[in-house]
A and B are shown apart, each in its own frame.
Chain A
Amino acid sequence: MADKNYYTVDPEGKLMCMKCRCKLQKGKAKFMYLDNGFPVELPVCPRCGFVYVPEELALGKVLSVEKALEDK
């Protein structure tokens, strides 16, 4: 069965990890909040594992899910 992903961000080769000097790739990550997990696909450094959260995502979907969970 295919993995469920709540959200996908493809770096499209436009993000570079400055520590490892390599391009970030679409990778598996998980947001956790108040004991809830949300599998997502985000730009991840294939070497050091740095997960990049874009500003629009943090202020949009992430914030709205945070607020919804806080009122659970």
Chain B
Amino acid sequence: MKIEERRSTHVYRQKRMFTKEELEERESLCVHEQPAYCNAACPLKLDVKALAAALAAGDFDKALALYEKITPFPHILSTGCEAPCESSCKLGQLGEGIAIRELERAALAYGAKPKGASLLRKKQQSAAIFGADLFSLFLAGELVKKRYPVSFYCSQKDGLSLVKDCAPWLSQEAAEATAGLLNELDIAFKWGCEPEAAYWEDREKYALIAAAWDTARTLYPGLETDEAVMVCREQRLITGSTRGVLDSAFGAKRAALSADRLAQHLDPGNTRGEEGSVATRLYTSLEGVKPSKRIPVKDMDSAMAEAARCIQCHCDECIKGCAYLRHYKKFPRILTREIYNNVSIIMGDHMMNKPINACALCGQCSVLCPNGYDMAEVCHIARQNMVSTGKMPLAPHEFALMDMLFSNGEAFLSRKQPGFKKCSYVFFPGCQAAAIAPATVRAAYLDLCRRLDGGVALMLGCCGAIGDWAGRYELYGETVDFLGKELGELGSPEIIAGCPSCKKQLLSQGRESVRGIWEILEELGLPETAELRQRPMALHDACGARGDAKTQESIRRIAAKLGCEIRDTPYSGDQSPCCGYGGLTQYTNREVAREMTESCLERSPLPYLSYCMACRDRFAREGRESLHLLELVYGAAADNCPDISAKRYNRLGLKQQLLKELWGEELKMEDLGFEVEYTPEAEERMDDRMILRSDVIQVLQHLRESGEAVLEEDSGLFVTRERLGNVTFWVKYSETEKGYLVHSAYSHRMTVVNRL
């Protein structure tokens, strides 16, 4: 198995991730952008959330501006509206919903009217409205908003009597305020006229004609109105019924839109968009929300307090749990669309490569989302797609992939238990367990050999998850075949996995029988080595055990037997987040990986108990006391934050030790013939730059063969280099009696050649 950089930025290949239908189906699962319940119920589409937020912040002017957006006559609407928003308020499920009309009235009472004229150009076509009722009054306001010159024919003598006739419930103050508004509007009132007579006389003067309900019926007995558009098509007359305040206001809005269409000589039913109240699919959790009662709105303070009760309904279940989504501040719907576009573009910058490769592929979102949105699947498909078209850079994943090849190459070991021709089991501890806790793995294997009948083989290697996570499906396929062949040579025994992710991965490969070591330990009982801990610990469930209740329960029972007082944290069990190792985030995006680890640790101040070695290691690196369950079971500690080189030496060392101890085989380590030492700065830089000690040694071996080096006069250090695979490594060193002292190491992926 080999990894080669075969990309070229000059090769343009593209493959769609999803069909359009599949993309839309996935996107539709995300309800984040669905309207809030109150907003969805309002046919006028009042943005109640924004109104409440403005009021809660004391911005009454903004609140009024929001309210005036939906109606020309806020006094009439705020006092007469039937308010379906209030009965839809989510808070009503717990206690009392928000008093939305009270808030509207507070905005009117304390907010200043926005200044400035409409940006719309005055229309050429003029409109006339004959007869007064609530509908025709609202329509006049709506048409003025659209900048039509409006003439209003009515029998009333003045604005105040008109308002009082149309909205008799208004207080004197509100009626006067509305009449004042009417005077400010660009309406030519024809007071004290007979609307029906005026209609026959003047209708030809106007491009658009509208009439109050009763007037229209008088003019045309038996008149039929298309209620969807509020137009009597035959007469080209705009009219509508007045069944209630909200119905009149909404009818006027629909009628005004019809006026637009008629003015453009279009069918009034043409491209109207979504009108009226809608059904919303929003999900809003009421967890942690306390029931509360309405606060009577008497002044600005009480209005602000009532508005502050609004919980601003929205769905962010995924973001609350996932550090990755929080980092990119994007909801799955928009993220999916951007990833889809990223994969689809042929030329240009692929801006979403980083987010595609930063997801831990842990699947937490699919559990947290009320509709099961699976962002991990989207990112995984995108990675495979980009690998297939040659658009996936190798750089972010190469170190991890090389690590997998190392686990299944140099460090790989597959042996039957000494003395057994056939084994009933094979212990598969996983690459991270061998890398981080070789002593624990050794103790576990010896214990299984001692207490299980039928022989226990050992397989030290990688389950292939790394190749799968990287989207390198060819390499993964080769790994699956390789493991299949090796397991076949052992007689295909039952696999005892040491890691929940390995268990999941091996099962997905169709391996017949895979159990976790924890299940075996429950059957056998704890060994004598078990260390009892009478102390509280926070249990972190491995993301590899998501959906595996059997494993989660088994771990809790074993922890209890060990005396641990297990404290479940928020987001435990199936909801558990990834520690930052999964999906190769640790390699592709250290910043996001760190945020993931911190997010795990924020959940409890206690020491953490985990059952995945990668989790254990990442928590320890953040300075938290961190233990793997098997460390307690076997009283054998893991290494404390081994660096990338130590993780390799641990795997090799374990192989060497067990080969000698159990199978009497000597694994000779290559004698270099020279010694290499490192300054502390060099060690730190190498770990940070993902440069292995074995890389440095190969460069120095090349130096000894070629003699190629440069002396830096300023520092007095020598510098040499060698190309290893896809990377050129440079080593800065000084010579010592027995070999070299490495002061620094760096690398680049570009090749550099002479140019004549």
Contact = CB atoms under 8 A, between A and B. Distances in A.
Interface string B728-743: 1010100000000000
Given A32-B753, A34-B7, A15 B713 contact: yes
Interface in B330-375: 347-351, 353-354
Given A71-B393, A72-B349, A62 B706 contact: no
A3 to B, nearest CB: 9
Contact of B748 (A14, A19, A63, A72): A63
A66 to B, nearest CB: 5
A72 B711 contact: no
B744 interface: yes
B694 to A, nearest CB: 20
Interface string A36-65: 101100111100111111010011001101
A37 to B, nearest CB: 9
Contacts of A45: 710
B393 A19 contact: no
B709 A18 contact: yes
Interface in B701-756: 706-714, 718-719, 721, 728, 730, 732, 744, 746-756
A48 B720 CA distance: 14
A20 B751 CA distance: 22
B264 interface: no
Contact of A39 (B10, B751, B755): B755
B278 interface: no
Contacts of B7: 34, 70
Interface centre among A31, A43, A66, A71 (most CB of B within 10 A): A71
Residue in B351, B707, B744 whose Cβ sees the most chain A Cβ within 10 Å: B707
Interface residues of A, number: 42
Contact of B751 (A32, A44, A48, A67): A32
Given A29-B755, A34-B7, A48-B708, A66 B349 contact: no
A69 B711 CA distance: 32
B5 to A, nearest CB: 8
Contacts of B748: 53, 58, 62-63, 66
B218 interface: no
B9 to A, nearest CB: 4
A59 B689 CA distance: 10
B395 interface: yes
Contacts of A53: 721, 728, 730, 748, 752
Contact of B708 (A24, A28, A44, A50): A50
Given A58-B730, A72-B348, A35 B8 contact: yes
B709 A31 contact: no
A55 B747 contact: no
Contact of B744 (A27, A49, A55): A55
Interface string A8-32: 0000001111110000100111111
B6 to A, nearest CB: 9
A19 B721 CA distance: 13
B754 A28 contact: yes
B752 A31 contact: yes
B710 A24 contact: yes
B710 A17 contact: yes
A52 B349 CA distance: 30
A39 B756 CA distance: 11
A63 B748 CA distance: 7
Nearest to B713: A14
Nearest to A50: B708
A15 B750 contact: no
Nearest to B711: A16
Nearest to A3: B755
A71 B353 contact: yes
B348 A18 contact: no
Give the most central of B11, B744, B746, B751: most A CB within 10 Å: B746
A29 B754 contact: yes
Nearest to A56: B746
The 3 A-B residue pairs with the shortest CB-CB distance in the complex, in nearest-first order: A70-B393, A35-B8, A28-B755
28 contacts: A15-B713, A16-B710, A16-B711, A18-B718, A28-B756, A30-B752, A30-B755, A33-B750, A34-B9, A35-B8, A35-B9, A36-B10, A42-B752, A48-B708, A49-B754, A50-B708, A51-B752, A52-B710, A52-B719, A53-B748, A58-B730, A58-B747, A66-B749, A71-B349, A71-B350, A71-B354, A72-B347, A72-B348
Given A19-B706, A30-B752, 4 more contacts: A15-B713, A43-B710, A58-B730, A62-B750
Interface of A: 14-19, 24, 27-36, 38-39, 42-45, 48-53, 55, 58-59, 62-63, 65-72
Interface of B: 5, 7-11, 347-351, 353-354, 393, 395-396, 706-714, 718-719, 721, 728, 730, 732, 744, 746-756
